[in-house]
Amino acid sequence: MTAGTAQVSLATVLREWGRIGCVGFGGPPAHIKLLRELCVERRGWISAAEFEDAIAACNLLPGPASTQLSIFCAWRVRRRLGAVVGGLAFIGPGLVLILALSALFLAGSPPKWVLGAGAGAGSAVAAVAVQAGWDLLRPSWQRRRRTIRWIAYLVAGVVAAATVGAWLVLVLLGCGLAELVIERPYRRPTGDGGHASVAVGPAATAAFGISTLGALAWVAFKVGALSYGGGFVIIPLMQSDAVDRYHWATAHQFLNAVALGQITPGPVVHTVAAVGYAAAGVGGGLLAATVAFSPSFAFVLLGAAHFDRLRGNLVVRAFLGGAGPAAIGAILGSAIPLAGALSEGWQFAVLAGAALLLLALRRGVVLTLLAAAAVGVVVAVAGGPLP
């Protein structure tokens, strides 16, 4: 990548990245489009080739790729201070909005229409998970090295998300390490002559103690530093902990949290802030967001100058050859417990309608969730049953 940087004022970084944070509905594809329009097409701060390399490098890192891309682009035009300002400006608007909505939707006694909207939007979440996994499935299949192993990793992710969600991160890491052992790229020269290693054990959770904030920090850390395969993989990583293990939220409240993360601008990882709010109020939401996004800042601030070499690192690519398909399987598998959390007949009808809109008619996620929420409001106002 080019060593030089464009000289851009911090005020410009704050304004432009903040604008993207406010209008960036639609997840990573929308974020990438907006960043490319700003940095490559409109301002010419970054070359098209460098931007494409940055996308590839961010997709090789754990955590939210579009957030890392936004931080990298800000780093590229104003180095470390720009990366911090730009990253916070990109994350901030959606974080403020999702905490405000969490206070409304996750309150102890919200208005009936709010309960209906949450129940309606939550009904569509399983279909959103299937669409997210399906969109990742084809490119991963095309990049596979060994078909049997790829299928095995995919199935492992599906089964883990549907059955042992709290330990899903170990399954993702296990699949990555299995592929690393089988391929043994560390015995071949890598693109940068370096080596990569990943290590985690069950004892890691004990290091945080048993406090709510410690457990919340561990769950958020898994989301930010140990998730592979796109933003939606955070859902199965959080679901079992938030609902079954620590009881921060009911199954219906968790569905609401996921829906809020989808309809607010900015990264989908904002969902972790809603879970944090359910666990410990505004302070919990801010803690969860801080822990979840910190690895993205660290990856860019410490490694942005080496992103071009990361893309060619055989060790990283081999690890993702196992962890990637497993993460996609986890996204698809998360639809099973998400659908299982539904309890009313009309919710299953909404789920079917959402699947039709997303998978057959290819409508947008935000539009689908808002339509599902509207159905829920109608049901609530009409006196229909709510979960």
Same domain, 203 and 268: yes
Give the number of domains in the chain.
2
Domain boundary among 40, 58, 92: 92
Is there a domain that residue 304 lies in?
Answer: yes
Is there a domain that residue 233 lies in?
Answer: yes
pLDDT tens track, the chain, 387 positions: 444 455 799 999 999 999 999 988 877 878 888 999 999 999 999 988 888 888 878 877 888 888 999 999 999 999 999 999 999 999 999 999 999 999 998 877 788 898 899 999 999 989 988 988 888 788 888 888 889 999 999 999 999 988 877 688 888 889 989 998 998 876 655 444 443 333 333 334 444 445 889 999 999 998 898 777 666 788 888 988 999 889 999 998 999 999 998 888 988 899 999 999 999 999 999 999 999 999 999 999 998 888 877 767 788 888 888 888 888 888 898 899 889 989 899 999 999 999 999 999 988 888 898 999 999 999 999 999 998
| Cα dihedral value 153, 270, 272, 103, nearest 10 | -150
Same domain, 85 and 100: no
Domain range for residue 253? 96-380
Report helix, strand or coil for 227: coil
Same domain, 223 and 291: yes
What CA–CA distance (Å, rounded) separates 106 from 261?
13
Is there a domain that residue 142 lies in?
Answer: yes
Same domain, 113 and 53: no
Same domain, 53 and 128: no
Structure tokens at 148: 């049997």
Q: Within 13 Å and on the Cβ side, how many CA atoms surround 148?
A: 1
Report helix, strand or coil for 282: helix
Same domain, 117 and 259: yes
Same domain, 69 and 188: no
Structure tokens at 297: 């800042």
Is there a domain that residue 376 lies in?
Answer: yes
Quick count: other Cβ atoms within 10 Å of Cβ 4?
A: 7
331 within 8 A of 132, measured Cβ to Cβ = yes
What CA–CA distance (Å, rounded) separates 47 from 362?
32
Domain boundary among 27, 58, 92: 92
Q: How far apart are the first and last CA of the chain?
A: 53
Q: How far is CA 274 from the centre of its chain?
A: 13
Q: How far is CA 172 from the centre of its chain?
A: 15
CA-based radius of gyration for the chain:
20
Quick count: other Cβ atoms within 10 Å of Cβ 11?
A: 9
311 within 8 A of 56, measured Cβ to Cβ = yes
Q: What one-letter code names the amino acid at 83?
A: A
Sign of the four-CA dihedral 302, 307, 308, 312: positive
Is there a domain that residue 209 lies in?
Answer: yes
The CA–CA distances, whole Å, from 25 to 94, 164, 211, 258, 366 equal 9, 31, 35, 15, 8
What CA–CA distance (Å, rounded) separates 250 from 245?
11
Domain boundary among 57, 92, 127: 92
Same domain, 220 and 153: yes
Q: Find all residues with CB under 8 Å of 179, minimum gap 6, and list them.
A: 149, 153, 318, 319, 321, 322, 323
What CA–CA distance (Å, rounded) separates 224 from 60?
14
Same domain, 188 and 106: yes
